[in-house]
Amino acid sequence: LKFLQKKKWHPLTIENLEAVWLAEQKHKETKNLIKEHNKRIEEERKDEEMKRAQVKAGLIPESDLLKMTWMYDVPSIAQNKPSNTLEEFFNADAELENVENEDERRKREAKERKDRIMWWIMNNAKDVK
Tens digits of per-residue pLDDT, 78-125?
A: 555 555 666 655 666 666 677 778 778 888 888 888 888 888 777 776
Backbone angles phi, psi at 85, to 5 degrees: -90, 170
How big is the chain, counted in residues? Answer: 129
Cα separation, 48 vs 46, in Å, equals: 5
Q: Can you give the C-alpha Rg of the chain in angstroms?
A: 26
61-68, Cβ contacts within 8 angstroms, sequence gap of 24 or more: none
Does residue 129 have a pLDDT over 60?
Answer: no
Tens digits of per-residue pLDDT, 4-59?
A: 777 888 888 888 899 999 999 999 999 999 999 999 999 989 998 999 999 999 99
Read off the pTM: 0.48
